[in-house]
Amino acid sequence: MNTAHPDNEPGSADRNKKSDTGRKVKIFVCIVSVALIAGYLAIHRAKSVYQVDLANAAFKVASTPPVVDVVTVRVFFIGFTG
């Protein structure tokens, strides 16, 4: 074992590779987490805007008087004497 150059030991390259892989995994997990949080916030915002628009539309429809067709009915009795 060479104490002056510990990187020349067998298996030292594997240890450096593992630490690099761990760092890459952490970065990947952070990026995915940020993307998921951003997606959640975007969907939450879109749904809340849609809910407000739906509530406003429902209020507008409910506050207008209903459309009523007025029909006049005349009753004729033919041949009836009373």
Please give the chain's pLDDT, 82 residues, in tens: 555 555 556 555 555 565 788 899 999 999 999 999 999 999 999 999 999 999 999 999 999 888 888 888 887 777 666 5
Alpha-carbon distance 53 to 59, whole Å?
A: 10
Residue type, position 43, single letter:
I
Measured in degrees and rounded to the nearest 5, phi and psi for residue 40 equal -60, -45
The CA R_g of the chain, rounded to the nearest whole Å, is 39
pTM to 2 decimal places: 0.52
Residue type, position 35, single letter:
A
